Structure 1
Amino acid sequence: MPELPVSALMTRALASVGLDTPAKHVVGMLVAHDVRALPVIDHLGRPVGVISDVDTLSTIHRRSGRPNGLLRRAGFQARVSRRDSEAVVASELMRAPAPTVLDSAPVGVATQRLITAGIGALFVVNSSDCLIGVLTARDALRPLLRRDPEIHAEIEHVVASAAPSEYGIEVSVRDGEVRLHGCLGLHSTAAQIECAVLRIRGVLAVHNAIRYEVDDMLITGF
């Protein structure tokens, strides 16, 4: 089964700010939408940067010269004077480039990028590089909630397609962890099955105990 695309898990409704959005409005958006970061878009709707709550706080503190009094509301309630908000705009608060991912990209690819993005979110773009959604770490975790019987049924299909009918492979699934037992003719077939199972949504780990009669991977050098 093909891996889910990012578009299947992303959130389409999201807040964003423009390059000239005043800092006061940026703070208001972060608090009102209860998010850790906002994308900054240009006049064509393309994400060009990202503003995090911590970066916003740091920049405004530095520019205002006042080290205290900006955050009070579960760690993030901002007070920015008119002088401060006029002095700082989104383009000064943002980091560039924005962490983006194409809507058609596999979720597995996006997950790797989420790990390195550092803000727990990727901004999803279409083929024109326009912002259409956001993928958070929580979104990427959703497929892991798939029920074990569903995972088991898909694995059985994978095994039946890859293994010759004269060989029997036992499959067990518990809390997303898969165990494979049995014997096959070739080492390469056992390896192919393991790789295919790892790509199945909801699989957290594969314990491959499949034996084989011929180590063709050693013979061929693969």
Structure 2
Amino acid sequence: MIVREAMSTPAVTVPGSWSVRQAVRLLHERGVTAVPVVDQAGYLVGVVTETDLLRGEFETDPAAFLRATAAAGEPPVVRVEDVMTTEVRTASESTDLAALAELMITMGLGIVPVLRGDRLVGVLRRHDLMRLVSDSDARVRDDVLAAIRERFPAGPHWTVTVRAGVVRLQGTAGGHAARAVHLLARTVPGVTRVAVVDAPNAV
């Protein structure tokens, strides 16, 4: 499975010139915890998280987290570009989803912008991964069987079992047909791994 099949699109973004408070309102309204930051031409320049925004809005004194920053006169406006992260891990639409998910877990990434060339086309969030995992095994099994029947309407027949997204294919076909079914099953959303085993009596 590749990133394009799981990413959220279009990506919710904020301009670097926005104030922190503007960005906070957007994240709250959209129910997200991080967004890509873009320049005036729409190119990716960073990522900002709710933690970045809160740090920009409140003083560092722990006691001040109960009140907004205030200073004599008009305080300077803190902008998204002042608090965003500029070293951003990105992916392409064809990136292997399992490899990227492992990277996100290992590095604690909540969001990965997805680029087509140098243009932002979507984002992969932890929520997208959770949505895939939450797809029931029964639904994944039905989707795998439907894909096989559409591609090979005349058979051979395969027995399909799914457990936690891991697909086990049993059938009498070998060689090219088995490899084709293996690749086909991997394209189904919710599939994390595919194993093909020989089963002479499969129906």
Structure 2 CA distance for partners of 1:141 and 1:85, relative to 1, 3 Å? farther
Question: What TM-score do you get using the length of structure 1 for normalisation?
Answer: 0.61
For 1:126-205, list aligned pairs within 5 A: 126-127=116-117, 129-140=118-129, 142=131, 145=135, 147=139, 148-156=141-149, 160=152, 170-174=158-162, 176-183=165-172, 190=178, 193-205=181-193
Distance 2:99 2:174 in 1: 34
Correspondence for 1:22: 19
Q: Which residue of 1 aligns with 2:65?
A: 70
CA distance in 1, matches of 2:100, 2:91: 8
CA distance in 2, matches of 1:185, 1:33: 49
Contact 2:2 2:97 in 1 (8 A): no
Q: Would the aligned equivalents of 2:21 and 2:57 in 1 still touch at CA under 8 Å?
A: no
- Distance in 1 (CA, whole Å) between partners of 2:130 and 2:112 is 14
Tell me which amino acid in the other structure corresponds to 1:202. Answer: G
2:110 is matched with which residue: 83, 101, 120?
A: 120
Aligned residue pair count: 191
Change (3 A) 1:152 1:122: same
Pick from 85, 93, 96: which aligns with 1:95? 85
Task: Find the aligned partners of 1:184 and 1:209 in 2 and give their Cα distance.
Answer: 10
> Given residue 38 of structure 1, which amino acid in structure 2 is its aligned partner?
V
For residues 52-110 of structure 1, the C-alpha deviation after alignment (integer angstroms, 9 at most, x for no partner) is 1223334555xx34213437xxxxxx8343679626432231111334344xx13x635
TM-score (norm: length of structure 2)? 0.65
The alpha-carbon distance between structure 1 residues 114 and 94, as it changes in their structure 2 partners (threshold 3 A), is farther
Structure 1: runs of 5+ lacking an equivalent = 72-77, 213-222
Partner of 2:96: 109
Query: What amino acid is aligned across from residue 49 of structure 1 in structure 2?
Result: G
Q: Which amino acid aligns with 2:84?
A: M
Query: Which of structures 1 and 2 has the bigger CA Rg?
Result: 1
Check whether the contact 2:114–2:123 (CA below 8 A) recurs between aligned residues: yes
Deviates more, 1:148-157 or 1:33-42: 148-157
Provide the secondary structure at the position in 2 that maps to 1:209.
strand
Residue 189 of structure 2 aligns with an amino acid whose one-letter code is: R
* Contact 1:11 1:134 survives alignment (8 Å): yes
Which residue identity does 1:134 align to in structure 2? V
In structure 2, how many angstroms separate the alpha carbons of the residues matched to 1:211 and 1:137?
37
Q: Does 1:41 align with 2:33?
A: no
Measure the CA separation in 2 of the matches of 1:80 and 1:33. 25
What is the CA deviation profile of residues 8-33 of structure 1, one whole-angstrom value per residue up to 9, with x for unaligned ones? 85232624132x33333333333343
1:96-136 Cα offsets, whole Å, 9 max, x none, are 1334344xx13x63553354343432334444x34444332
- Two-structure CA RMSD over aligned residues (Å): 4.0
